[in-house]
Amino acid sequence: MNNEQKHKDEELLYLEQFFKTMKITPEHIERGEDPPDFYVVNRSKRNAIEVTEYHSMRKGPGDHAWRAVEEEWQSIKGLFIKKRKRYPKLDDVHGFLSFREFKMPPANKHGQFVTELLEFGISQYKTLTEERSSFDSFPSNYPLLNKYLKKIHLQNVNCYMTWDRDSATFVGISEKELEKCVSKKLKKPRPQQITENWLLIVSGTAMSQQIGLTHCEKFNGFARLNSRLEKSSFDKIFFFQYVWGRVLCWSQNKQWEEVKPARTARGIVRGLQ
């Protein structure tokens, strides 16, 4: 599957989950000609829908963009999963990595980094127990681990576990970030022969996409952005927090409002000030 097809599949997944959250059952969903991304038919209405993902522009320690760090990590993790099959002893070992200033090895070093990681795990295998063992320095034959890892935690968990890394970021959203997210979409013309034109902004599962339970009043304070929305071809704009199952909605002649509050294991949670 190429990246373009993967992207289209993700858009459809988000759109279907959005409808499920809103308790809408479309009669028909079809791909558009861009614009729009989709046409959705429901109750004799034919709406056009554009889909875009929100990512924060903020940077973490060492001035590294969160989104770039996440993409590098996913590349490393995918390679790790493939190579780990050659090291069956590590199937019951859980590893947790802490990187120096959240800096990842460059792409051309991913293979070497993963090999060093697996070889180091094997070298410590016989000493591991169910108690966590921590390592903050490595022998000289592991140059990339010494350069990029601040610490690694290993423990025997007696079941297959993936390895992961620390991930922390500032949670929130700014007018500039949201404006950048929608800027290209706002320039697109209105499709013909439709009832309404919608824009669906998705905050997915990555840390760079999280804004917390930001109150809709903050969105209403984005004067410059909201002025651009009023002049756009969109009738409604939805901000869908996929993880929380929460939806904010802007529409012409109305302010942002929370139309679906966040749902947690403890029930419904309204947006915070």
SS3 assignment for 228-254: HHHCCCCCEEEEEECCCCEEEEEECCC
Domain count for the chain, please give it: 2
Burial of residue 228, with CB atoms counted within 10 A of its CB: 0-12 exposed, 13-18 middle, 19 or more buried: middle
Contacts of 234 (CB under 8 A, 6+ apart): 50, 185, 186, 197, 198, 199
The pLDDT tens digits along the chain (273 residues) read 577 788 788 899 999 999 999 999 999 999 988 789 999 998 889 999 999 988 775 544 443 455 556 667 778 888 888 888 898 888 888 888 888 876 788 888 999 999 999 999 999 999 988 888 899 999 999 999 999 998 898 988 766 556 665 544 444 677 888 898 899 999 999 999 999 999 999 988 776 677 777 788 889 889 999 999 999 999 999 999 988 899 999 999 888 999 999 875 445 444 443
Contacts of 267 (CB under 8 A, 6+ apart): none
* DSSP letter assigned to residue 85: T
pLDDT of residue 92: 83
Cβ proximity of 7 and 34 under 8 Å: no
Secondary structure (DSSP) of 146-204: HHHEEEEEEEE-SS----EE---------HHHHHHHHHHHHTSPPPSS-S-EEEEEEE-
Do 155 and 178 lie in one domain? The reply is no
Domain termination residue (choose one: 108, 142, 165): 165
Do 53 and 65 lie in one domain? The reply is no
pLDDT of residue 129: 87
| Domain enclosing residue 179, as ranges | 3-58+170-269
Do 127 and 179 lie in one domain? The reply is no
Do 83 and 152 lie in one domain? The reply is yes
Do 86 and 209 lie in one domain? The reply is no
Per the document, the length of the chain is 273
Domain termination residue (choose one: 141, 165, 189): 165
Do 229 and 206 lie in one domain? The reply is yes
Cβ proximity of 159 and 92 under 8 Å: yes
Helix axis angle, 175-186 to 223-230, nearest 10°: 20
Do 247 and 215 lie in one domain? The reply is yes
Do 124 and 259 lie in one domain? The reply is no
Do 105 and 175 lie in one domain? The reply is no
First-to-last C-alpha distance (Å) of the chain: 42
Residue 118 CA: distances (Å) to CA of 11, 36, 83, 115, 243:
35, 46, 8, 5, 32
Q: What is the pLDDT of residues 60-104, one digit of tens each?
A: 444 345 555 666 777 888 888 888 889 888 888 888 888 887 678
Neighbours of 247 (CB within 10 A): 19
Domain termination residue (choose one: 135, 165, 195): 165
Q: What are phi and psi of 65, to 5 degrees?
A: -65, 135
Do 103 and 133 lie in one domain? The reply is yes
Helix (H) or strand (E) holding 108: none
Do 156 and 192 lie in one domain? The reply is no
Longest dimension (CA), the chain: 69
CA–CA gap between residue 214 and residue 171 (Å, rounded):
9
Do 54 and 175 lie in one domain? The reply is yes
